[in-house]
Amino acid sequence: MSKESGNNLSGNLEPVTKTKFHEQIVEQVRSLIEKGRLNHGDQLPPERELARIFKVSRHSVREAIRVLEQQKVLKSRPGSGTYVIVEDASTIIDSLTNAILREKIQLTEIFEFREMLEPQIAALAARNATDKDMKDLKDLLERQEKEIDDALHSKELDEKFHLALARAAGNTILLHVVELFSHILLKSRHENIQSLPRHMLSVNGHKKILNAISRRDARAAKHLMAGHLQAIRKLVISSNTHQTNR
């Protein structure tokens, strides 16, 4: 790619500001290809220049390039550079569709895991929660209600609520399991599948579960958590399918 075309590319890219840096770089490159601003055979600027444009580390740029290579959108040629290898926009659209379908399968498996684990956690929390545990859960729920329109904070508070439940269960092994797999469980709370209906469903479900725990009704807490996860799963998978069909 010439210096002039590299400058044109710089004008179409934006600094990355969120937490998943490499994912945003991937999205911007895909967008440029779909819009015809990057075409088959075009060479990307050097890694150092991309890091400067995106205002991220070179590691994030390398990770984005790795993902795009796996999706057969880019090709790195040692000693030469990184090139776009899609013939037309339909190729990347097919790639995106396949990626979304794979994500749907993974989300289903994550929810199956959560549905095996978290109802039992809720039941144990109803039996074992201390006064401090109850206060922590109520405080988190109040914050979640106040910040329901804030996707990022609502997601974080959702995660913290379920982690607080694991602490309230009073079983160190269950808590360790939840902490150990937290990076996987986070995928069911990813920003891409967040929405106001998702947040409202989360808050309403948490209210009912917390009410059962405060009554020390382990059976109800377990039942409500199972129903809550099934409702969230249905909404999330439906939303993910809608993205595939757009």
pLDDT value for 246:
46
Residue 219: which residues within 8 A CB-CB, separation 6 or more?
A: 123
How many other CB atoms are there within 10 angstroms of residue 191's CB atom? Answer: 12
Residue 212 has pLDDT above 50, yes or no: yes
Higher-pLDDT residue of 219, 94: 219
Judged on CB neighbours under 10 Å (0-12, 13-18, 19+), 11 is exposed
Residue pLDDT, tens place only, 99-130: 555 666 778 888 898 999 999 999 999 999 99
Q: What is the mean pLDDT of residues 58-69?
A: 90
Q: Which CATH class is domain 3-87?
A: mainly alpha
Helix/strand/coil for 135: helix
- Cα pseudo-dihedral 98, 99, 101, 104, rounded to 10: 180
pLDDT value for 181:
81
Same fold across 3-87 and 100-245: no
**Residue 230 contacts residue 112 (beta carbons within 8 Å):** no
Residue 244 has pLDDT above 50, yes or no: no
pLDDT value for 16:
54
Residue pLDDT, tens place only, 145-196: 888 777 667 778 888 999 999 999 999 999 988 888 877 776 666 544 456 7
How many other CB atoms are there within 10 angstroms of residue 125's CB atom? Answer: 30
With a pLDDT cut of 70, the percent of the chain lying above it is 77
Rg (CA), the chain: 22
Give the global pTM.
0.57
Q: Which amino acid is at 147?
A: E
Would the CA dihedral through 142, 144, 145, 149 be positive or negative? positive
With a pLDDT cut of 90, the percent of the chain lying above it is 38
Residue pLDDT, tens place only, 126-155: 999 999 999 999 999 999 888 877 766 777
Residue 226 has pLDDT above 90, yes or no: yes
| Residue ranges per structural domain of the chain | 3-87, 100-245
User: Could you tell me which CATH number the domain at 100-245 has?
Assistant: 1.20.120.530
**Residue 217 contacts residue 127 (beta carbons within 8 Å):** no
Q: What is the rounded CA–CA span in Å between residue 16 and residue 130?
A: 42
Residue pLDDT, tens place only, 41-59: 889 999 999 999 998 999 9
Q: What is the rounded CA–CA span in Å between residue 204 and residue 221?
A: 14
